[in-house]
Amino acid sequence: MTALSLKDLDISYGDTQITHKVSLDIAEGESFALVGESGSGKSTVLKAIAGLAPRWTGEIHVLGKARGHGVDRDFSRVCQMVFQDPYGSLHPRKTVDATLGEALTIHGIGDRSARVEEVMGSVGLDRKFRFRFPHQLSGGQRQRVAIARALILKPKILLLDEPTSALDVSVQAEILNLLKRLRREQNLTFLMVTHNLPVVSFLCDRLAVMRQGRIVEVAGVDELKRGNLKEPYSRELMQISAAHAT
Amino acid sequence: MRPLLEIENLRITFPTARGDIDVVRGVSFTLGRERLGIVGESGSGKSMTGRSILKLVRAPGRVTADKLAFDGIDLSTRSEKQMRSIRGARISMVMQDPKFSLNPVMTIGEQIAEALLTHKRLPRREVNDRVQTMLESVRITDPERVARLYPHEVSGGMGQRVMIAMMLIPEPDLLIADEPTSALDVSVQAQVLDIIDELVRRKGMGLIFISHDLNLVSSYCDRILVMNTGEVVEECKAGELMNATHPYTRGLIASIPRLDETRDELPVLDRSAWAKA
Amino acid sequence: MATLRDWLIDDSPASPMQARLGRFYRIFGALMHNPLAVIGAIIIVALILAALFAPWLATHDPLRQALAERLLPPSAAHWMGTDELGRDIWSRVVYGARITLVIVALVAVLAAPAGLVIGVISGYFGGWVDRILMGITDIFLSLPKLILALAFVAALGPGIENAIIAIAITSWPGYARVARAETLTFKNSEFIAAVRLLGASSLRVNLGHVLPLCTSSMIIRVTLDMAGIILTAAGLGFIGLGAQPPLPEWGAMISRGRSFILDQWWVATMPGFAIILVSLGFCFLGDGLRDVLDPKSGEQR
């Protein structure tokens, strides 16, 4: 079954059209990457799926159900998002406990204390962090909190917006390992936006290369590992990352 | 020949509610007319080291060093006023984000001209010529048009090239580039770094390239210092980074995913292993 | 004491209560490092104590007239002298603290929440809601505060209650502007997007997440405005439209002492001192709070 299906998606901000006829099918349990440079529209696609960029035409289906334009409660139990900047995605005046418990309150889920500790455990956060404020946490710990917040409603699909690009490499490795393990354990579907091809190679099964609002190429990650991407633009991106990695 | 920069036992301390914290703990190095990379993660003290050379460490922070000399000038005894004649004219610094470093209400041409005129008196004609040449040398194809633009009218990559033009037009002897390309796309990154590289080589300047990106530093520098929690843990030639010996450096290199990744799990740094040592 | 302090600065609090108290302790501690803020706080605490314990602090009945003791200079019996009706000025200043405190507190309670709610709604929803609300706000802002307050008091009739209402009506627009500006900066932040994605309603997002972030700048703004509020109240009292005689309101007291300013300077000067002192206190405290609470500094200490 397809977890996410986009058809002819045209997203606009104001008068500017950001994406042109984006179509994608992502299977349940798959880890899919949207790759491109800034301005390619990759993050905008993610926002439209999440309901944060409501001006679009075309179709978005999530687990077979057509998606409306705004943010809605039922959708939030199926699909959640992790943002790029761990410093900007946590409310500065709320403790970890309050941030994580908020979702439970909204959805009227009881057993708050146990659920919060359970989700903290699953993202590798020690109990002692539970009542800390974001400014008392490191970047990696904050990103773990953000992932925990996304997981506490037990969604099926996780949208990841450059989840490790603001982190140090050693912390990036920890978060990537965590994401990989969570996907395996909870059978999650990932849609990740990134500019970092090696991260795609580590975490994803398939990728789509985007440029100026259009999908240039969709390929399996093995093609990427073997350097077999077909389109000239994809090859260019690949060469730049390969040149860096010597 | 006398080295361009000599630093011995540099320490930077910040007082906090729970006692002093040493951000940089006894860093020593010398720099000739070469390209030196300083790599480290956030909190390693790499940026503070760079700033201390220009005496830009802010108030509660205290800088001490057995030796802090630039081209034979003892920087530690220089007053703020004397430093101003060194900053820009002899040592320049390029920072991370051009959006915050450029004045939004001045055109690019004016800002570059000002950078030049702060340190030299020159006739108007010559200033304009120098600005045009400088913009050309950072590979801006139509310098006359770009000189009339305001910073918000150019892209990030262009903005950073303008920054570089501004920093290099007084022809300094040393350029400190602190994460100069972290806010840019990868394809633009390479372009900007190539420009820095070319200009530094052509003018025979010294370069200190501060970055968190091991690969980037190793491909654009001659020599590399790896910093961790305020100390230099490894010093090596850029080409030999892959044969690094310190467990921190090795761990760092191993934790970077590769394009042809086959590992199921990335190795994670065990910080406790050498924290005490 | 040491154990309480350790409990408060514990890096790993065990309950939300401890986390919150710890945060207040850190803010308090930072505030205590700012000498001017400490002076301001002492003045404000003194004002509150004076208001609470006025009957014990006052040496005389503030309203009792003793025509035999008119216009006496400060002495051991009358610390600040007496006024033209022989009333003890010290006692009147002490009781006046009650009136000032009531004015300040009521204006804060009426105007700040109104401004906050209007500003947050305006900023969050934008569009025509924003245009209408900010239009009204701008109309109020474009009129001079004291004149507007005067007009209201003239319409409602003189008296302390009406003065309070008039001042409240003239001060909310400033708060609405601040709250709107704050809301606009937070509205598009990722942490607000994240709560929206959790399925939170607009009401919950605004009340639970946007509002708490606006409150600190609101507290700062209100504290800094207190001086102006006291001065406006005193101004209304001075021209006879605020507190009515024989209430010991500071502005009205200055007004009555005006006729004797050259020969019996203390009649007008003593309440004047009180006004200056309290205004300064609020300003110092407000400045200190701004340094400590500024949301942009992220409480990185």
Pairing of strands B19-31, B35-39: unpaired
Q: What number is the average pLDDT over the span C265-281?
A: 90
Percent of chain A clearing pLDDT 70 (strictly above): 99
d(CA B262, CA B260) in angstroms, rounded, equals 6
Percent of chain A clearing pLDDT 90 (strictly above): 64
Q: Is the pLDDT of residue C296 over 80?
A: no
Looking at beta carbons, which residues of chain C come within 8 Å of A129? 12
Percent of chain C clearing pLDDT 70 (strictly above): 97
Quick check: B186 and A241 CB within 8 A? yes
Residues 5..64 of C with a Cβ closer than 8 Å to A: which?
11-16, 18-19, 23
| pLDDT, mean over chain A | 90
User: Residue B116's pLDDT is what?
Assistant: 86
Residue of A nearest to C211 (CA): A93
Quick check: A93 and C213 CB within 8 A? yes
The ipTM assigned to this model is: 0.89
Chains in contact with B, counting 3 or more C-beta pairs less than 8 Å apart as contact: A
Three-class SS of residue A194?
A: strand
Quick check: B269 and A243 CB within 8 A? no
Residue with tokens 């008196």: B121
User: Residue C71's pLDDT is what?
Assistant: 80
Q: Is the pLDDT of residue B185 over 90?
A: no
Q: How far is B61 from chain A (nearest CA, A)?
A: 21
Closest to C117 (Cα-Cα) out of C172, C188, C165 = C172
Looking at beta carbons, which residues of chain A come within 8 Å of B258? 198, 201, 245
Using 50, 70 and 90 to split pLDDT, how confident is the model at C2?
low
Q: Flag the least confident range among A45-49, A113-117, A232-236, B54-58.
A: B54-58
Predicted confidence (pLDDT) per residue in B99-109, tens digit? 778 888 999 99
Between B168 and A207, name the one with better pLDDT.
A207
Looking at beta carbons, which residues of chain B come within 8 Å of A241? 186, 259
d(CA C241, CA A236) in angstroms, rounded, equals 78
Q: Is the pLDDT of residue B19 over 80?
A: no
Predicted confidence (pLDDT) per residue in C95-154, tens digit? 999 988 999 899 989 999 999 999 999 999 988 999 999 999 999 888 888 888 888 888
| String of DSSP letters for chain B | ---SEEEEEEEEEEEETTEEEEEEEEEEEEE-SSEEEEE--TTSSHHHHHHHHTT---TT-EEE-SEEEETTEEGGG--HHHHHHHBTTTEEEE-S-HHHHS-TTS-HHHHHHHHHHTT----HHHHHHHHHHHHHHTT-S-HHHHHTS-GGGS-HHHHHHHHHHHHHTT--SEEEEESTTTTS-HHHHHHHHHHHHHHHHHHT-EEEEEES-HHHHHHH-SEEEEEETTEEEEEEEGGGGGG--SHHHHHHHHTS--TT---SS-----THHHH--
Residues 167..196 of B with a Cβ closer than 8 Å to A: which?
185-187, 190
Q: Is the pLDDT of residue C241 over 90?
A: no
Predicted confidence (pLDDT) per residue in A146-192, tens digit? 999 999 999 999 999 999 988 888 899 999 999 999 999 999 999 99
Q: Is the pLDDT of residue C262 over 90?
A: no
Say if B219 is an interface residue toward chain A (CB within 8 Å).
Answer: yes
Chains in contact with C, counting 3 or more C-beta pairs less than 8 Å apart as contact: A
User: Residue A246's pLDDT is what?
Assistant: 45
Residue of C nearest to A135 (CA): C300
User: Residue C1's pLDDT is what?
Assistant: 54
Say if B17 is an interface residue toward chain A (CB within 8 Å).
Answer: no
Residue of B nearest to A40 (CA): B185
Torsion on CA atoms C257, C263, C266, C268, rounded to nearest 10? 20
CA distances from C233 to A72, A174, C49 (A): 49, 61, 21
Q: Flag the least confident range among B171-180, C203-212, C253-262.
A: C253-262
Comparing CB atoms, the residue among A177, A198, A243 nearest residue B261 is A198
Quick check: C16 and A146 CB within 8 A? no
Quick check: A37 and B269 CB within 8 A? no
Q: How far is A89 from chain B (nearest CA, A)?
A: 19
Q: Is the pLDDT of residue C201 over 60?
A: yes
Q: Is the pLDDT of residue C299 over 50?
A: no
Quick check: A135 and C300 CB within 8 A? yes
Percent of chain C clearing pLDDT 90 (strictly above): 28
User: Residue B208's pLDDT is what?
Assistant: 94
Say if C1 is an interface residue toward chain A (CB within 8 Å).
Answer: no
* Prior bond of C62 cis (ω within 30°): no
Comparing CB atoms, the residue among A52, A84, A95 nearest residue C16 is A95
Quick check: C194 and A103 CB within 8 A? no
Predicted confidence (pLDDT) per residue in B203-253, tens digit? 889 999 999 888 888 888 999 999 998 899 999 998 888 888 888 998 888
Q: Two tokens at B94?
A: 């390029």
Say if B18 is an interface residue toward chain A (CB within 8 Å).
Answer: no
Using 50, 70 and 90 to split pLDDT, how confident is the model at A7?
very high
Q: What number is the average pLDDT over the span B22-34?
A: 90
Q: What number is the average pLDDT over the span A105-114?
A: 91
Mutation target among B186, B229, B248 for the A interface, most CBs of A within 10 A: B186
Quick check: A149 and C198 CB within 8 A? yes
User: Residue C294's pLDDT is what?
Assistant: 67
d(CA A28, CA A48) in angstroms, rounded, equals 19
CB distance C297 to C53 below 8 Å: no
Q: How far is C193 from chain A (nearest CA, A)?
A: 7
Predicted confidence (pLDDT) per residue in C32-91, tens digit? 888 889 999 999 999 999 999 988 888 888 888 888 888 888 888 888 888 888 888 899
User: Residue B1's pLDDT is what?
Assistant: 66
pTM of the model: 0.85
Q: What number is the average pLDDT over the span A85-89?
A: 87
Q: How far is C133 from chain A (nearest CA, A)?
A: 23
